[in-house]
Structure 1
Amino acid sequence: MFTAGCHAEYRPSDEHVVMSLFRDGILEHVYPAFFKAMSHPDHVGVALSLSMAGYVLGGSSYFQALLFGSAWAGLLYYCCHEIYEGYMTRRLSTDMADIQANYLGNPDSSFWVAEADANGQSKVVGMVSYGEMSHAVVVFPWRRRNLGSQLTLKALDFCKERGYARLILDVSSPQTAAISLYQKFGFVQTECHRNTHANRWFSKLARINVVHIQFHVFSTKPH
């Protein structure tokens, strides 16, 4: 038995599960980013070249060919991991370090959790925040149940009530599902860059872009 759709303001008792949701929600993008980077023609070419070099230098050794190619794949994975790990660490030491003060203590910010009734027990299965930084996460078993849309609407309604004219979000390029969801609500891409705040070579090798998207809460077009 599953029922979802109850949204409540964040409570201190939610801290443990919310932090776990946040960490998992950020780090889950490492593998998609890695596979996307690894499949790029340039990286495929480098991996094949290194494998061939290993094969020749190892005296026709298939093991050394695999070792050399794997070293390149390992470097790409490390770059992807460092980008998302670094972002998560920064957020945990800033806005997420004190949700009560940074979100609920600010009238222009807020933080909500989505609760689900699973076999008679209520559990937090998603979260969304809006403020200086914005975050949204839904756990895997509860995705594709319209919960992400409900959370997005909750944040948009809050912004409308506060009289915001425009919302701006930054999303990493591997987060294709999130980008599609925001576009469904009318967000449009305005910029794309590689400044992930990680080492610039990490971003370059991982080929991760930061997608800058905007949403006009109230139309500014003349009537």
Structure 2
Amino acid sequence: MAPYHIRKYQDQDREAVIDMFIKGTLYLVSFGFFHQLKQPRSFLLLLGGPGALFLGSGSLLLSLLALPGLLAFLWLVARYPIKNYLDHALRTDMSDIRKFYLNDRGSCFWVAEKEGQVVGMVCACPQKMAPGGQKRLELLHLSVRQEHRGQGMAKSLTQTVLQFAQDQGYDAVVLSTLSFNNAAQRVYEQLGFWKAREAFDSLKWRVTGMTFFYYEYSVPSSH
């Protein structure tokens, strides 16, 4: 297996980084869809909708045809907040990576490179309105190309952020991840993150029933 190395983002990485960010974010839609299917209200919709249609029309064919439409509706419900998050990021911090992450020594953006190709990424910046006057670093946009997962790359990228936090004198590293993103949660928990709380990020996530796990990591003193 060819080795990979982690380095700071360079301007020529932009195309590969944006492509990976888009694909990695949209990859979560399928997990969100199956999460939707497990919700009691989705079960009632899929069972009750065709049932009510059959009782009202007397047509079994019509009620069966309604099922694919309802599944498509649930797919769109799952996709909406994830696509909204993606579009917002592309308009804000990901629109100018150098400006948002590399012009301030308290922030940074890293990529994992393998055989000359950018195959992983992560970034971090100071958390806004950190409680208790703490100096907290927020880990964002951790992503590894699908064909390169399972090689420890996500763990190495996260460790890079933790080392940066220690070097910069941060008190803690924080992050949020969707409750059904089990692979990411395993990485964070193996590295010593602990789940501080579970909550809906906003109304659009509440409507879909998708909650976030908020993780924290206490940075050991470098002194």
Bin the TM-score by the shorter chain. Answer: 0.7 to 0.9
Q: CA RMSD in A?
A: 1.6
Over residues 50-98 of structure 1, what are the superposed CA-to-partner deviations in whole Å (9 max), with x where a residue is unaligned?
Answer: 1112223332323x21233333322322121110111111111111111
Partner of 2:196: 190
Equivalent residue in structure 2 for 1:140, among 146, 155, 167: 146
Q: 5+ residue gaps in structure 1?
A: none
**Match of 1:57?**
56
Structure 1 residue 109 displacement after superposition? 0.6
Q: Deviations over 1:96-126 (max 9, x none)?
A: 1111111111100111111112xxxx11111
On the 8 A contact 1:54/1:67 being kept in 2, the answer is no
Q: In the alignment, which of 73, 79, 89 is matched to residue 81 of structure 1?
A: 79
Specify the SS of the correspondent of 2:52.
helix
Could you tell me how far 1:129 is from its partner in structure 2? 0.8
| Per-residue deviation, residues 15-68 of structure 1 (Å, max 9, x unmatched) | 001000111111110111111111223311221111112223332323x21233
* SS of 2:169 mapped into structure 1: coil
Deviation of 1:8 after TM superposition, in Å, equals 1.5
Farther off after superposition, 45-54 or 152-161 = 45-54
Q: Determine the C-alpha separation between the residues in 2 that align with 1:181 and 1:195.
A: 21
- Normalised by the size of structure 2, how large is the TM-score? 0.87
Corresponding residue SS for 1:6 = strand
CA distance in 1, matches of 2:205, 2:100: 29
Mean Cα deviation higher: 156-165 or 45-54:
45-54
2:69 corresponds to which residue?
A: 71
Bigger shift: residues 38-47 or 137-146: 38-47
Q: What pairs with 1:1-223 in structure 2 (closer than 5 Å)? A: 2-62=1-61, 64-117=62-115, 122-132=116-126, 134-196=140-202, 200=203, 202-218=204-220
Q: Identify the structure with bigger relative contact order (alpha carbons < 8 Å, sequence gap 6+).
A: 1
Note the alpha carbon deviations across 1:156-180, whole angstroms, 9 max, x for none: 1111110111111111112111111
Shift of 1:131: 1.1
Task: Quote the Cα distance in structure 1 between the aligned partners of 2:3 and 2:54.
Answer: 55
1:205: Cα distance to partner? 4.2
Distance 2:81 2:3 in 1: 33
How far apart, in 1, do the equivalents of 2:214 and 2:156 lie?
Answer: 22
Normalising by structure 1, we get a TM-score of 0.87
Q: Distance in 1 between matches of 2:201 and 2:144?
A: 26
Which shows bigger deviation, 52-61 or 18-27? 52-61
Equivalent-residue separation in structure 2 for 1:75 and 1:174 (angstroms): 20
Alpha-carbon distance between aligned partners in 1 of 2:191 and 2:47, rounded to the nearest angstrom: 42
